[in-house]
Amino acid sequence: TFNIQHLTCHTQLIASIEKTDVVGIDTEFITMPFYRSKLEVIQVSTQDILAVVDYRYAVGTPMRHLLKALWDKEVRRETSIAP
Protein backbone atom coordinates (compact mmCIF):
# COMPACT_ATOMS: atom_id res chain seq x y z
CA THR A 1 0.00 0.00 0.00
CA PHE A 2 1.31 3.44 -0.81
CA ASN A 3 0.23 7.03 -1.10
CA ILE A 4 0.03 8.42 -4.63
CA GLN A 5 1.78 11.63 -3.59
CA HIS A 6 5.17 9.92 -4.08
CA LEU A 7 6.09 10.22 -7.76
CA THR A 8 7.50 6.70 -8.14
CA CYS A 9 4.41 5.22 -6.51
CA HIS A 10 2.19 7.31 -8.76
CA THR A 11 4.05 6.06 -11.83
CA GLN A 12 3.76 2.43 -10.64
CA LEU A 13 0.03 2.80 -10.01
CA ILE A 14 -0.66 4.32 -13.44
CA ALA A 15 1.42 1.61 -15.16
CA SER A 16 -0.41 -1.12 -13.26
CA ILE A 17 -3.83 0.32 -14.17
CA GLU A 18 -2.89 0.64 -17.84
CA LYS A 19 -1.75 -2.98 -18.16
CA THR A 20 -4.65 -4.68 -16.39
CA ASP A 21 -8.24 -5.39 -17.36
CA VAL A 22 -9.66 -5.24 -13.84
CA VAL A 23 -9.33 -2.30 -11.45
CA GLY A 24 -11.05 -2.05 -8.09
CA ILE A 25 -12.07 1.39 -6.84
CA ASP A 26 -13.56 2.45 -3.52
CA THR A 27 -14.16 6.00 -2.34
CA GLU A 28 -14.50 7.51 1.10
CA PHE A 29 -16.31 10.78 1.71
CA ILE A 30 -16.49 13.04 4.73
CA THR A 31 -19.74 14.85 5.45
CA MET A 32 -19.19 16.64 8.73
CA PRO A 33 -18.88 19.63 9.20
CA PHE A 34 -19.71 20.29 5.54
CA TYR A 35 -23.10 20.74 3.91
CA ARG A 36 -22.06 18.52 1.02
CA SER A 37 -20.07 15.30 0.98
CA LYS A 38 -16.39 15.90 0.31
CA LEU A 39 -14.11 13.32 -1.33
CA GLU A 40 -11.26 12.36 0.99
CA VAL A 41 -9.77 9.03 -0.09
CA ILE A 42 -9.77 6.88 -3.21
CA GLN A 43 -8.65 3.28 -2.84
CA VAL A 44 -7.43 1.68 -6.05
CA SER A 45 -6.42 -1.94 -6.52
CA THR A 46 -5.10 -3.99 -9.40
CA GLN A 47 -3.65 -7.48 -9.46
CA ASP A 48 -0.27 -5.97 -8.53
CA ILE A 49 -0.95 -2.90 -6.40
CA LEU A 50 -3.19 -1.63 -3.64
CA ALA A 51 -3.07 2.17 -3.34
CA VAL A 52 -4.70 4.66 -1.03
CA VAL A 53 -4.98 8.04 -2.72
CA ASP A 54 -5.47 11.05 -0.46
CA TYR A 55 -7.51 13.33 -2.68
CA ARG A 56 -6.23 16.52 -1.03
CA TYR A 57 -2.66 15.70 -2.08
CA ALA A 58 -3.50 14.28 -5.50
CA VAL A 59 -5.51 17.24 -6.83
CA GLY A 60 -4.05 18.50 -10.09
CA THR A 61 -1.64 16.55 -12.26
CA PRO A 62 -1.56 13.27 -10.26
CA MET A 63 -5.36 13.08 -10.26
CA ARG A 64 -5.56 13.88 -13.98
CA HIS A 65 -3.14 11.02 -14.74
CA LEU A 66 -5.13 8.64 -12.54
CA LEU A 67 -8.44 9.56 -14.18
CA LYS A 68 -6.93 9.30 -17.67
CA ALA A 69 -5.65 5.78 -16.90
CA LEU A 70 -9.09 4.76 -15.62
CA TRP A 71 -11.06 6.45 -18.42
CA ASP A 72 -10.89 3.62 -20.98
CA LYS A 73 -11.64 0.84 -18.52
CA GLU A 74 -14.96 -0.97 -18.64
CA VAL A 75 -17.07 0.03 -15.66
CA ARG A 76 -18.95 -2.61 -13.74
CA ARG A 77 -20.57 -1.38 -10.60
CA GLU A 78 -20.73 -3.71 -7.64
CA THR A 79 -21.70 -2.32 -4.29
CA SER A 80 -21.71 -3.80 -0.88
CA ILE A 81 -22.79 -2.11 2.27
CA ALA A 82 -21.11 -3.12 5.49
CA PRO A 83 -23.50 -4.27 8.23
> pTM of the full predicted structure?
0.70
- Give the pLDDT confidence score for residue 81 in this predicted structure: 58
- Tell me how far apart the alpha carbons of residues 79 and 16 are, in angstroms, rounded to a whole number: 23
From residue 74, how far is each of 7, 32, 52, 71 by CA, in Å? 26, 33, 21, 8
Q: At residue 2, does pLDDT exceed 60?
A: no
- Give the pLDDT confidence score for residue 74 in this predicted structure: 74
30-57 pLDDT tens trace: 887 777 888 888 888 888 888 888 887 7
70-80 pLDDT tens trace: 887 776 676 66
- Give the pLDDT confidence score for residue 45 in this predicted structure: 86
